[in-house]
Structure 1
Amino acid sequence: MSTRERILDAAARVMREQGVAHATTKEIARAAGCSEALLYRHFDDKQGLFMAVLQERLPGFVLPDSAVGSGSVADNLARMVTGLLGFYVESFPVSASIFSSSTLLARHREAIAAHGAGPQTPQLRVQAYLEAERAAGRVRPDADAEAAARLLVGAALHQAFLATFWGDGSTAEPGLADRLVAPLLPGLLPDRG
């Protein structure tokens, strides 16, 4: 395993246990069995390390480009929602601590923006998928892709919050993703009559 991979594994573990706000690069380096200097050879700062943990150590929710025009829109959206549920359940323990201080949140907001990311990313990715499907003729021309994306991401976020809050961490309710997608389909899919 490469040093970078060891650092990412350690960062994910330490951030999950302490939250990103309280995890230090010194602790992460110690958990990875390396020096802080070596950690900084692989990552510019703690926010960069946090972003790498989010992108490389948590469940994904982005469909491959080849999903546009293949399978059904409903199934593709359900796959994205399933991924979002897993992502949010895994990311809550890591990121919730940033809300403990307005100063900390402001610093974190600036650092994440400097990395071109933020909490709007999931919604923008679902919206981009729907817009690509609209361009392919599989989503209605008048469909509100932004509102649909916000509703799906919001529902996934809420369900993951409940699973995390109640301590079971489970979002494996049978058919949940399909049930969250189904009410939006009449406003998204073209009439086939």
Structure 2
Amino acid sequence: MGTRDEILAAASRIMREQGYARATTKEIARAAGYSEATLYKHFADKTEIFLGVLSEQLPALGALLTELAEDAGKGTVRANLVKVARAALDFYVASFPISASLFSTSDLRTKHRDAVRERGVGPRNPQRMLSRYLRAEQRLGRLPRATDVDAMAALLLGACFQQAFLISFEGEPPAPDELDALAKSLVKPLLR
């Protein structure tokens, strides 16, 4: 594991324990065993560290969505959406402790939102990526033309987000087989 990976691993631990708002770059660097100067050789700011944690330390929702959009027509749409739902549940459950504190003040939320937008990323990306995949499946005739793929993407990821919130709030994560069953149940009403 290299310096960058060690910093991200430490940031992930600290942000899960304290949330984004309370985690400092000084504390992250110390937990990783490096100076703050070393941290800034690898990351421009705390937002960049946060984005690295989301993309490299948490379950890989973005990578799955990219892969599906590129490989539309493979597997069944139902099986692919169940995979998405399962990955989204894992990602959102893992990210709640980190990102919930972004809403603690409007100034923090605004500053973070602006920094994320500046980088061309943000919480809408998974929905856009899922819509892209569903649109590709629609072009292949595997989804009805009348399907509102943007609404379908929003409904699935929104349901996963809500369930992840409840899981995080309750503090008792379900067993993997229960999450598998939940993922299937969230997809079922979308494909009748």
Counterpart amino acid of residue 158 in structure 1: Q
TM (norm. structure 1) is 0.92
Find runs of 4+ consecutive structure 1 residues off by over 4 angstroms: none
Match for residue 111 of structure 1? 115
Q: Distance in 2 between matches of 1:143 and 1:168?
A: 36
Structure 1 residue ranges without an equivalent (≥5): 187-193
Higher normalized helix content (fraction of residues): 2
Q: What is the CA distance between 1:177 and its match in structure 2?
A: 1.1
Aligned pairs (5 A) from 1:12-161: 12-61=12-61, 62-63=64-65, 64-65=67-68, 67-161=71-165
Q: What is the CA distance between 1:92 and its match in structure 2?
A: 0.2
Q: Distance in 1 between matches of 2:119 and 2:90?
A: 23
Counterpart amino acid of residue 5 in structure 1: D
Structure 2 residue ranges without an equivalent (≥5): none
Counterpart amino acid of residue 177 in structure 1: A
Greater displacement, 87-96 / 169-178? 169-178
CA distance 1:52–1:34, change in 2 (3 Å): same
Counterpart amino acid of residue 43 in structure 2: F
Greater displacement, 126-135 / 61-70? 61-70
- The percentage of aligned residue pairs carrying the same residue is 51
Q: What is the CA distance between 1:67 and its match in structure 2?
A: 3.7
Q: What is the CA distance between 1:171 and its match in structure 2?
A: 6.7
Kept after mapping to 2: 8 A contact 1:11/1:49: yes
Counterpart amino acid of residue 8 in structure 2: L
User: CA RMSD, aligned part only?
Assistant: 1.3
